[in-house]
Amino acid sequence: MRNEKENLDGLFQSLSALNYPLTDFEIILIDDHSSDDSTNAAKKWMDRFSSLTIRSLDENQIGKKAALSLGISL
C-alpha cells in the first residue's frame, strides 16, 4: 500500500462484513513508503483482525515488485 489511509477503513469494514471466518485468511499489508500515515491507520485494526500482518519496505526497497516480494516471503 502507498498513501491509502483514506481507503483503509472501507477495506476493513468490507472484510468485517464477509460471511467468512476472519481467522481463515491472512491479511498482509506492505507499506511502500507512505507519507499519509497509512501504517498507523492500518494498525488500529490489528485487534479486530488477528491475522493482519503489516510490514514496511526498507529505505533501499521501493515499488510494487519489492512489496510483492516481501509479502510473498512472509
Amino acid in position 50: S
Residue carrying the nine cell digits 503489516: 54
Domain boundaries along the sequence of the chain:
5-73
Instruction: Walk along the chain (74 residues) and give the pLDDT tens digit of each residue.
Output: 999 999 999 999 999 999 998 888 899 999 999 999 999 999 999 988 989 999 999 988 989 999 999 999 98
Q: Provide the pLDDT for residue 67.
A: 93
What cell does 6 get? Answer: 483514506
Q: Provide the pLDDT for residue 23.
A: 84
Q: Provide the pLDDT for residue 22.
A: 83
What's the pTM? 0.83
Residue spans of beta strands (DSSP E) within 1-74: 27-31, 52-56
